[in-house]
Amino acid sequence: MPDALWIDPAVPAPLADLSQTWGIPLTDDPALATQKLELFNSGSLWIYALVAPFPTVTDDVAYVDLLSTWKGVTAGPLAGHDLLMAESTLAAFTALWGEPALGVVRVLPAEQIKDEAWKESAWALIPFEEIQPKWKVLSVDGQSPIHKNFDANIYPLKAYFSSGFPMPESNRNPSKLATVILTGVTAIVRATAATMEMKGVTYPGELIGDWFREADVLHISNEVTFDKDCPPPRAGYRNFILCSDPKYMDLLLDVGVDVVELTGDHLRDRGNEALLETLDIYKKNNIPYYGGGTNAEEARQPVLMEVNGNKIAFMGCNGKRVAKYPKATDTSPGPALCDFDDFGEQMDALRAQGYQIIFTFQHEECYSAKPCYTHEEAFHRAADEGAIIVSGSQAHYPHIMEFYGDSFIHYGLGNLFFDQMTYILPDGKVIDETRHEFYDRHVFYDGRYLGVELLTGTLEDYSRPRPMTAAERSAFLAGYFYLSGWTASPPPTPVPVPTVTLTPIALP
């Protein structure tokens, strides 16, 4: 018979497209084929992802529940959600799992699945290469293809394809995956520092350090300087001239800091000399910094990284207008002024070189989930200039999020290492939402931004954040998805206040 290639309907689009380079005619009849590109028990490994619209509270699904849904049993986390997928994906998993129950699966063109899922609160099964920022990737039995510890051997959402021609080993190459964790306010002062003096410098990072060290890049916005003449720390909120003992740098090193943001308000609290000494400490520890520097020119310079083939740029500035927070000048150190005429030119050049730009702000502070009115203008401007991620490092109270064009904006992540167990509003009301914290894990793959995972924590002991419990996290996320305008009704219960026993702090 003349050479002819038959392509199994289960074959994903990239492999089907690759077959066009093999120079062999196609046939629709497998009986007439001399070569076949087909589902097999070995060959090119294709990883799929179970995804849902980003404002989805569920994090993990049991494989047995997914199979039960496929067979028509609608109990479990998938109850009430259609499962969307492309025709080829349906063909692949029908071969693996059998025919789905009637009404469980809806087939759509791949380019329509995301919009339909958001419209109908549906979930979807998609190939790894189709992951994009507006999806939330759900882990299955604890395994997620956007995690660095992903184990394909025990992951159930996969298929193998074989042919007589060279094909890629997989659609997921772990050497092309990079993760960046962005964090909020760090100010190692007052009660946080006093606790460290009693319990050890690395104490604040003990419960969340594994999250941070696992990331390829950990960002920390340290708002204060290290000063060898810093007075001994005292608890209490009356001290606003802030500094840290230089030995506290060991906390940042212990959690694996890779880049420091210097847009903070308090960098010049102890004078220029202390700030310049702090910059030297970062340099001696080979920690790059941005958003501040020895002068205005250095403060505006980005930090450029190439991580597993992903080119990432960090930029930032201080957008506060009040004079009591001075910016860097031509002759003095400090945080960068938000000059978007200059930043815009830099961002154009960086995007032309293939960089994914992360832009972070120190901006006005609001003690509510809604950001200050000045935020929207500045954050949108950074996105318009080309930042794929825009993040607020200033917020002591976590703020809402939005997708703006192709960019993800998080107006404020809350505190990281800071002592705000509570805050007293001008009307005398005491709030404790300052204890809630976001740590945004951003995922890049092969030069492309895949999206963000929201890690969540709660401050304890005036110093040490811990991961939220499942119940706390569920209510916290549900509340913020509603406040961000993504869900139609408020969560059934308010964001809970965790009940914990705090260790008393003995003051000097």
Residue-wise pLDDT for 144-194, tens only, equals: 999 999 999 999 999 999 998 999 999 999 999 999 999 999 999 999 999
For 155, list phi and psi in degrees, rounded to 5.
-85, 130
pLDDT in tens, 251-273: 999 999 999 999 999 999 999 99
* Stated pTM of the model: 0.95
Tell me what the mean pLDDT of segment 365-373 comes to. 91
H or E stretch including 211? helix 209-214
Could you tell me the two tokens for 166? Answer: 């060279």
Q: Within 13 Å of residue 424, how many CA atoms lie on the same side as its CB?
A: 5
Between 75 and 56, the more confident residue is: 56
pLDDT exceeds cutoff 80 at 496: no
| Tens of pLDDT, residues 61-79 | 999 999 999 998 876 788 8
| 8 Å CB contact between 446 and 426 | no
Q: Is the Cβ–Cβ distance between 178 and 442 less than 8 Å?
A: no
Mean pLDDT of 236-265: 92
Residue 369 has pLDDT above 50, yes or no: yes
Residue ranges of domains in the chain, CATH in brackets: 36-172 (3.40.190.10), 176-483 (3.60.21.10)
Instruction: Give the per-residue pLDDT at 321.
Output: 81
CA of 279: how far to CAs of 225, 233, 292, in Å?
9, 22, 9
For tokens 């998993």, the residue is 93
Looking at residue 494, what is its pLDDT? 53
Q: What is the pLDDT of residue 486?
A: 96
Mean pLDDT value of segment 79-94:
94
Share of the chain above pLDDT 90, in %: 88
* Confidence band of 500 (pLDDT split at 50, 70, 90): very low
How high does pLDDT run on average in the chain?
Answer: 94
Q: What is the pLDDT of residues 348-358, one digit of tens each?
A: 999 999 999 99
Rounded to whole angstroms, the Cα distance separating 2 from 417 reads: 70
Q: Looking at residue 480, what is its pLDDT? A: 96
- 505: confidence class by pLDDT, cuts 50, 70, 90: very low
pLDDT digit string (tens) for 111-137? 999 999 999 999 999 999 999 999 999
508 pLDDT above the threshold of 50: no
pLDDT at 81 over 60: yes
- Counting Cα atoms < 13 Å in the Cβ hemisphere of 451 gives 23
Contact 460, 466 (CB under 8 A): yes
The answer to whether 92 and 131 are in contact (CB under 8 A) is no
